[in-house]
Structure 1
């Protein structure tokens, strides 16, 4: 008998049919200090990052950079709201020790928190994939993207990501999966089970997250290789290339942090439901803490890894030089040799070749004109 059948037989609300408060299970990983520290660290960090992004958006004249800043703004807003909603509920429970069944007899509050956990969990991963797609088009297919594309289209893409994540979060309310109170009673999440619709929703959540990370990795890898190939010369377009390098560095760090923080939880969920093993709550709580670090570390990527900040940290570097790549000539030469020898012209040769032809200035044109008599 599945969870819904058991709930109807016992006249018990669905969210309490598997676990019913109060709980005596209280492992160290479920301590109130974790939720409090994460919330205190994450909320100011995301707020600071949002302020920095708004100022940078107002100053930028680059269309591609403004698109990227819109995606980053959506990511920061999502992380901030995720910490605010879930953190306030969890901290309130630890502070008051309220009984969920008395406070929420019809599971509305539990369903809301479960949807929030799913929505704010998938949004950063989906946004990371959307940012990778945007950078892939901007770097590898620059002529495929119209120069007159309005910024509103980028905002629509962010809204579309939120809509997709919201639709997935609403699936348990339609019968595909179910939200349940989780031990030690401070939070609600979908039922991780190998039976029926709970198996389907568990796989949807884990596979969507893993596919988003995979898409980000593949597209970012191609974009980085292409950027290395075209970001070699010292010409007039090097300033815009610096912005491309800066954005790619930030995007790669976002991808790496998301992979490190989320892959353990996503793999754990998929492995548990596919193997039919009993859910180990201590590991679920542990990997959930790992995933929460993603919302804390994301804003610091843009706060710290900017040219304006790096100029202050490393003032001895000649930041007036034409390219970020020229700061490390041996590394740049090695990467160029590797990419040229291994890939040749197979990766976007037409677009890259045209870009190189239009950007490279002939040596003769670099000579100073003779002095006028």
Structure 2
């Protein structure tokens, strides 16, 4: 059914024209525990990751790494706000069991949540693709990027990504697609349909997400190959790029997590539109929960990489201490007392 092309009968708002609450709850499918656990895991993780990135940004001397950290900071802020905004609405519904038709007779609240779902869903994918483009240029064409480029340019790129995602999220309010209440009544999302304007928006959402993942995969693969050639070349001792390797490892992990979490939902939406197959509420809810794990797992990439760096630094310091004649064995250096280089 295509709600955006049909007149609203009996003065029923668009967001309730296909499914009208209240719905019958199915405890085996819907539960407050999913949303509560997601928020309990995701919000502190993203907050810790932001602190870690901020401290790294203050200490870094590498211009390329500072650019990369700004992108990561934008990704962390997006994930944090996405969990906070959407999770708060879902948890509030399960706690109070409020009636959508009473508190939101004109669909403003439902439209806001639908926009939030689309915006905070596309932002990580768009940011990952933008980061892949920036790393591709920085590694493969270092002279194409001016060494004097200000950090404000990177901030502007993050803001531009947010603007693009926001414009896409606003499309259903202009008539291209429509936001609807979704079973079990705790959230709103756009109408996945194979007809009319709803089909157009479904294609836009799924194709933008899949293209972002494909661009990230392609450019990251080329960047990794280039780094391998550089690090394993004849001049590898002078051309080591430890910070470049570290950034690529983080970017590859971000891409893998995004692909695993988002591809099932994006592919399912695309196939539903192409084949005109209906999407069951249970499967849609399952795919949404899979996508939510992206916002929870992303921050641990930065946290674990930072822990790994601190361990590497402490190992080097201990080894230097052993080489300088210390009588202690620390950090597994296993240097005999008095050993000199």
Answer yes or no: same fold by TM over 0.5: yes
State the partner residue of 2:222.
222
Question: Hey, what's the Cα distance between the residues in 2 that align with 1:89 and 1:151?
Answer: 35
User: Which whole-Å CA distance do the structure 1 matches of 2:4 and 2:141 have between them?
Assistant: 50
In 1, distance between residues paired with 2:218 and 2:182? Answer: 35
Partner residue, 1:180:
180
Partner of 1:19: 19
Q: Displacement, 1:195?
A: 1.1
Q: Residue in 1 aligned with 2:243? A: 243
* 2:309 match: 308
Number of aligned residue pairs: give it. Answer: 317
2:145 pairs with 1:145: yes
Matches within 5 A, 1:212-361: 212-232=212-232, 233-238=235-240, 241-306=241-306, 307-311=308-312
1:98-137 → structure 2 map (5 Å cutoff): 98-137=98-137
> Could you tell me whether the CA contact under 8 Å between 1:27 and 1:282 is conserved in 2?
no
- Whether the aligned pair in 1 keeps the contact of 2:25 and 2:184 (CA below 8 Å) is yes
Give the corresponding residue for 1:76: 76
Alignment partner of 1:300: what SS?
Answer: helix
SS at match of 2:188: strand
SS in 1 for 2:166: helix
The CA deviation string for residues 139-178 of structure 1, in whole angstroms up to 9 with x for no partner, is: 0000111100111111111001000000000000000000
In structure 2, relative to structure 1, the CA distance for the partners of 1:44 and 1:143 (3 Å cut) is: same
Cα deviation for residue 305 of structure 1 reads 1.8
Contact kept, 8 Å, 2:230 with 2:236, in 1: the verdict is: no
1:327 match: none
- Residues 290-313 of structure 1 show CA distances to partners (whole Å, capped at 9, x for unaligned) of 10000000000010023424538x
Q: Which residue of 1 aligns with 2:195?
A: 195
Contact 1:70 1:154 in 2 (8 A): yes
Contact 1:7–1:13 under 8 Å retained in 2:
no
- 1:234, distance to aligned residue in structure 2 (A): 4.7
Q: Distance in 1 between matches of 2:257 and 2:17?
A: 36
1:7/1:17 contact within 8 Å kept: no
Deviation at 1:32, TM superposition (A): 1.0
Task: Note if contact 2:8-2:17 (Cα within 8 Å) is conserved in structure 1.
Answer: no
Conserved 8 A contact 1:261-1:293: yes
| Secondary structure class of the residue paired with 2:29 | helix
Deviations 1:8-61 (A, max 9, x none): 222100000001110004252321100000011000000000000000000000
- Higher mean displacement: 273-282 or 74-83: 273-282
CA distance in 1, matches of 2:94, 2:227: 49
After superposing the two structures, state which structure 1 stretch, 70-79 or 297-306, moved more.
297-306
CA gap 1:217/1:10 in 2 versus in 1, 3 angstroms: same
Backbone CA RMSD of aligned residues: 1.9
- 2 CA distance for matches of 1:310 and 1:30? 42
Secondary structure in 2 matching 1:29: coil
Alpha-carbon separation, structure 1, partners of 2:184 and 2:279: 14
Distance in 2 separating the partners of 1:175 and 1:219? 35
C-alpha separation in 1, matches of 2:318 and 2:101: 63
Please, which moves more after superposition, 278-287 or 137-146?
Answer: 278-287
TM-score (norm 1): 0.82
Q: Is the 8 A contact 2:117 2:189 kept in 1?
A: yes
Aligned to 1:30, the other structure's residue is in SS state: coil
Listed as ranges, the gaps of 5+ residues in structure 2 are 321-341
Larger displacement relative to structure 2 (299-308 or 202-211) = 299-308
